[in-house]
Amino acid sequence: MATDHVSVTIEKQGLQSLIDILAKRGYRVVGPTLRDQAIVYDDIARVDELPAGWTDEQDGGTYRLQRRDDGALFGYTVGPHSWKRFLHPPIQQLWKAARSADAATVEATPAEPERFALFGVRACELHAIAIQDKVFLHGPYVDSHYKARRDNAFIVAVNCGKAGGTCFCVSMNTGPRVSNGYDLALTELVEGGKHRFVVEAGSDKGRDVLAGLPKQPASSGDLDAAKKVTEKTAASMGRSMKADDVRELLARNLEHKRWDEVAERCLSCANCTMVCPTCFCVSVEEASDLAGVESSRSRRWDSCFTMDYSYVHGGSVRSTTRARYRQWMTHKLSTWWDQFGTSGCVGCGRCITWCPVGIDITEEVAAIRSSEPQ
């Protein structure tokens, strides 16, 4: 793929053309935008809806927006949303049923025809999408709703020009530079009063869209500058985790005393699972009319931090916060490998930032590692 990359540069107005072309081709363009003092993913129609001149400061349990003076459009990292809210939405109806005395019908809710253009997908998020692909598309059963949305999606990736305070993609080998899985990839260059984007196509779909954009060929200087952007980002990660042996480390430390310590702090609130771009768990809910004639089933995001999650007749299997936190963290970093042949963590740092008490997965791994019983 890398050899036949077409690299060009476009101006800020070129980005507007990109949004327009995608919209014209029937895509619903969703990208980063400001709302409630956070950068969230929502519908965008104009470039000036992007959070120009904003950045974020992130730390354990902390997220604050700040102004930056260069007008950069992508000068922040990831916020509370991830793209799973579009590809694997929080609530999805599965089917409707109707009954009468002599007939019963079940009608599958059609897979969503909506075609999303995901605009501004970071490297860690591309990896998160690839991980959800493994869960939903590459097992013995395929999730038809995810498949429809995924097959139809157009992905505009962005190489990160800034590392967040809770980022550790370098440790997880998922960024900050995108490698594959995108249709178009942007690198924002803001220098010497010029504001441009190096654009690379990663698919035929991407090349096709790129052909319609006002552009200039990228010079070797542009490509060098783009490369330096992610090199600088890689060198300034807010967090790090020794990840090469974490699968085995956690597997042999299921009774480590650190689980008791973290359970003292963890509120079991499920925030980490809601913001995590790979967490896929769902529950199902039944709705019925009062007469009991028509009913429907929906699924909604669920979390291993709830008591209901592991409930079987008689009680919950994981009745303690210790067991629930251990389930979540060992699943992300260890048992995910056994189940899906990959890590379940991409180092995006959301679980650290959005934990109300600032529990830090990298710190927990380090603590277990440094006090492993011999």
Partner 1 sequence: MALTAETPRIVADPMVPRVGRIRKRVRELSDVWTLTVEMDEPFAFAPGQFNMLTAFGVGEAAISISGDPARPGEGLIHTIRDVGPVSHALSHLEPGDYIGVRGPYGAGWPVEVAEHCDVVILAGGLGLAPLRPLIYEVLSGRKKYGKVALLFGARTPTDLLFRPELEQWRRRLDVDIHVTVDTSTEDWYGNVGVVTTLVPRAAFDPQHTIAYVCGPEIMMRFGAAALRDKGVPDEAMYLSMERNMKCGIGLCGHCQIGTVFVCRDGPVFRNDKLRPLMSVKEL
Q: Does 257 bind partner 1 (CB under 8 A)?
A: no
144 binds partner 1 (CB under 8 A): yes
Q: Is the peptide bond before 214 cis (omega within 30 degrees of 0)?
A: no
Q: Is 13 in the site for partner 1 (CB under 8 A)?
A: no
Helix/strand number for the chain, H first, E second: 14, 16
Q: Rounded to an integer, what distance in angstroms lies between the CA atom of residue 275 and that of residue 305?
A: 13
Residue with tokens 């090199």: 231
- Sign of dihedral through CA atoms 334, 263, 57, 28? positive
* 339 touching partner 1, by CB under 8 A: yes
- The correct pick among 13, 105, 216, 371 for binding partner 1 (CB under 8 A) is 105
179 binds partner 1 (CB under 8 A): no
Comparing CB distances to partner 1, the nearer of 139 and 214 is: 139
CB within 8 Å of 163: residues ≥ 6 apart: 77, 176, 233, 234, 236, 237, 238
Residue 180 in contact with partner 1, rule: CB under 8 A:
no
User: To the nearest whole angstrom, how small is the minimum distance from the Cβ of residue 287 to partner 1?
Assistant: 8
Q: Which of residues 262-281 bind partner 1 (CB under 8 A)?
A: 280-281
DSSP class of residue 110 equals P
Near partner 1 by CB under 8 A: residue from 29, 128, 237, 282:
282
Phi/psi of residue 299, nearest 5 degrees: -115, 155
The residue among 326, 177, 336 whose CA lies nearest residue 243 is: 336
The distance of closest approach from Cβ of residue 164 to partner 1 in the complex, given in angstroms and rounded to an integer, is 27
Confirm or reject binding of residue 135 to partner 1 (CB under 8 A).
yes
- 284 belongs to the binding site for partner 1 (CB under 8 A): yes
d(CA 95, CA 89): 16
Task: Tell which residue, 281, 283, 282, 270, has the closest CA to residue 350.
Answer: 270
350: alpha, beta or left, given left = phi > 0 and alpha = psi -120 to 50? alpha
| Closest by Cα among 1, 41, 16 to 277 | 41
Give the β-pairing of 62-67 and 54-59.
antiparallel
* Calpha distance 62→37 (Å, rounded): 12
Give bridge partners of residue 29 from the DSSP assignment. Answer: 117
Smallest gap, in angstroms, from Cβ of residue 361 to partner 1?
Answer: 18
Q: Site residues for partner 1, window 297-336 (CB under 8 A)? A: 297, 299, 302, 304, 308-313, 317-320, 322-323, 327, 330-331, 335
Provide the residue type at 270 as one letter. A
Query: Rounded to the nearest 5 degrees, what angle is found at the Cα of 273, between the Cα atoms of 267 and 275?
Result: 110
Task: Output 297 or 369, the one with its CB closest to partner 1.
Answer: 297
Residue in 139, 212, 214, 356 binding partner 1, rule: CB under 8 A: 139
Is residue 110 close enough to count as binding partner 1 by CB under 8 A? Answer: yes
Stretch in the footprint of partner 1 (CB under 8 A) among 52-60, 225-233, 283-291, 346-354 = 283-291
Q: Which of 143, 183, 222, 360 binds partner 1 (CB under 8 A)?
A: 143
Residue range at the interface with partner 1 (CB under 8 A); choices 161-169, 223-231, 292-300, 359-367: 292-300
Quick one: angle between helices 204-211 and 12-24, nearest 10?
Answer: 110
By CB under 8 A, residue 136 contacts partner 1:
yes
- With CA atoms as reference, report the closest residue to 47 among 80, 81, 11, 78: 11
248 near partner 1, rule: CB under 8 A: no
Out of 97, 130, 223, 225, the residue judged to bind partner 1 by CB under 8 A: 97
CB 228 to partner 1: min, Å:
41
User: Residue 71 or 110: which CB sits closer to partner 1?
Assistant: 110
Q: Which residues bind partner 1 (CB under 8 A)?
A: 94-95, 97, 99, 103-108, 110-111, 135-136, 139-145, 254-255, 280-286, 288, 292, 295, 297, 299, 302, 304, 308-313, 317-320, 322-323, 327, 330-331, 335, 338-339
